[in-house]
Structure 1
Amino acid sequence: MGVESPEPARELSVSAAHVESNLAEISHDVWEHLLIEIPQVRGEAAVERILLASVKENVATLLHIFENDIPLENLEGLAAANEHARRLAQRDIPVSALIRAYRLGHWRFLQWCLDELSLRGADDVVSAATNRRMLKVSFGYIDRITEHVTDVYYRERERWLMGRTAMRAARVRDILAGKEVDLDATEAALGYRLRRHHLGLVAWMPTPTPGGAGAGLTRLDRLTHEMAEELGCPTGPLFVPRDEGLAWAWLPFGCHSEPSWDRLSGLVESGEPSVQVCAGSVQRGIGGFRSTNREALRAQELATAASPGRRLTAYAQVAPIALMCDNLPDLRTWVGRVLGPLAVDDEQCALLRETLRDFLATGCNYTATASNETLHKNTVHYRIRKAEEIMGALDPSRTYRPCDRPARRQVPRRLGHAAARRRNGGTTARWKSSASPLRASGSRTLASSTAHPGRPPRSAGPAPLHTGTWCASAAPHRAGVPAPGPHGTAAESRRWLCRREAALAHLWGSVADLGVVAV
Structure 2
Amino acid sequence: MPSDRSAMEAWIAAFVARESLPAALEGWVERVAKPTLAENPEVADDPALSRLVAETVRTQWLAFLDSLSNPEPTHRMVRPAAEIAAELARRRYPLPVLFRVYRVAQQAVWDYVTTVTESAQGHDVDPADVLVLFWGRASTWLDASVEASVEIFQGEQDRVRQGADAQRIDAVRDILSGDGSDPKELSARLGGHPLSGFNTALLLHTEDFEAVPDLTVAANELARVIGTRPLIAHPGGRDLWCWFGTRQAPDVAELRDSAPWLAERGLSATVGSPSEGLAGFRQSHQEAQEAQRVAFAMVSPAALTLFADVEVLAVMSASPEASRRFVLRTLGPLADPGETTSRLRQTLSALLTSGSVDEASTRLTVHKNTVRYRVNQAEELLGRRAYDAPTETELALRYYEAFLATE
Taking structure 2 as the reference length, the TM-score comes to 0.54
Pairing 1:4-15 to 2, within 5 Å after superposition: none
Query: Given the alignment of the two structures, is residue 248 of structure 1 paired with residue 241 of structure 2, yes or no?
Result: yes
What residue number does 2:177 align with? 177
What residue number does 2:261 align with? 270
Separation in 1 of the partners of 2:279 and 2:302?
Answer: 28
Amino acid at match of 1:237: P
What residue number does 2:199 align with? 198
Separation in 2 of the partners of 1:286 and 1:219?
Answer: 28
Pairing 1:50-449 to 2, within 5 Å after superposition: 163-191=163-191, 192-205=193-206, 207-210=207-210, 215-216=211-212, 218-233=213-228, 236-259=229-252, 261-262=253-254, 264-271=255-262, 272-363=264-355, 365-392=356-383, 405=391, 409=394, 411-413=396-398, 416-420=401-405, 422=407
Q: 1:188: how far off?
A: 1.9
Counterparts in 2 of 1:258 and 1:371: CA distance versus 1, 3 Å = closer
Cα pair 1:412 1:420 within 8 Å, conserved: no
Q: 1:345: how far off?
A: 4.2
- 3-state SS of paired residue (1:164): coil
Separation in 2 of the partners of 1:312 and 1:230?
Answer: 14
Cα pair 1:340 1:391 within 8 Å, conserved: yes
Counterparts in 2 of 1:390 and 1:326: CA distance versus 1, 3 Å = same
Separation in 2 of the partners of 1:395 and 1:371?
Answer: 19
Counterparts in 2 of 1:381 and 1:366: CA distance versus 1, 3 Å = same
Cα pair 2:199 2:284 within 8 Å, conserved: yes
Q: 1:414: how far off?
A: 6.1
Counterparts in 2 of 1:375 and 1:171: CA distance versus 1, 3 Å = same
Cα pair 2:275 2:284 within 8 Å, conserved: yes
Counterparts in 2 of 1:415 and 1:194: CA distance versus 1, 3 Å = farther
Separation in 2 of the partners of 1:338 and 1:265?
Answer: 31
Cα pair 1:239 1:249 within 8 Å, conserved: yes
Counterparts in 2 of 1:270 and 1:314: CA distance versus 1, 3 Å = same
Q: 1:393: how far off?
A: 5.5
Give the structure, 1 or 2, with the largest relative contact order (CA under 8 Å, sep 6 or more): 2
Separation in 1 of the partners of 2:344 and 2:350?
Answer: 10
Amino acid at match of 1:172: V
Amino acid at match of 1:208: D
Q: List per-residue Cα deviations over 1:366-395 (Å, max 9, x = no partner).
A: 455334422234422332232233334589
Amino acid at match of 2:346: E
Separation in 1 of the partners of 2:162 and 2:204?
Answer: 19
Q: List per-residue Cα deviations over 1:448-483 (Å, max 9, x = no partner).
A: xxxxxxxxxxxxxxxxxxxxxxxxxxxxxxxxxxxx
Q: 1:408: how far off?
A: 6.0
Q: List per-residue Cα deviations over 1:82-107 (Å, max 9, x = no partner).
A: xxxxxxxxxxxxxxxxxxxxxxxxxx
Q: List per-residue Cα deviations over 1:14-46 (Å, max 9, x = no partner).
A: xxxxxxxxxxxxxxxxxxxxxxxxxxxxxxxxx
Separation in 2 of the partners of 1:241 and 1:414?
Answer: 32
Q: List per-residue Cα deviations over 1:100-153 (Å, max 9, x = no partner).
A: xxxxxxxxxxxxxxxxxxxxxxxxxxxxxxxxxxxxxxxxxxxxxxxxxxxxxx
Gaps of 5+ in 2: 1-157
Q: How many residues align?
A: 248
Cα pair 2:331 2:396 within 8 Å, conserved: no
Q: List per-residue Cα deviations over 1:282-324 (Å, max 9, x = no partner).
A: 1111011011111111211222222432211112233223322
Separation in 2 of the partners of 1:169 and 1:331?
Answer: 36
Counterparts in 2 of 1:167 and 1:307: CA distance versus 1, 3 Å = farther
Amino acid at match of 1:185: E
Separation in 1 of the partners of 2:162 and 2:208?
Answer: 20
Cα pair 1:345 1:417 within 8 Å, conserved: no
Separation in 2 of the partners of 1:317 and 1:281?
Answer: 10
Counterparts in 2 of 1:394 and 1:203: CA distance versus 1, 3 Å = same
Cα pair 2:299 2:405 within 8 Å, conserved: no
Separation in 1 of the partners of 2:368 and 2:189?
Answer: 63
Amino acid at match of 1:374: T
Pairing 1:447-458 to 2, within 5 Å after superposition: none
Amino acid at match of 2:261: S
Cα pair 2:199 2:276 within 8 Å, conserved: yes
Q: 1:208: how far off?
A: 2.6
Structure 1 residue ranges (4+ consecutive) displaced by more than 4 angstroms after TM superposition: 158-162, 365-368, 393-396
- 3-state SS of paired residue (2:189): helix
Q: 1:269: how far off?
A: 1.7
Across the aligned residues of Structure 1 and Structure 2, the Cα RMSD in angstroms comes to 3.1
Cα pair 2:299 2:404 within 8 Å, conserved: no
Q: 1:280: how far off?
A: 1.0
Question: Which structure has the greater CA radius of gyration?
Answer: 1
What residue number does 1:95 align with? none
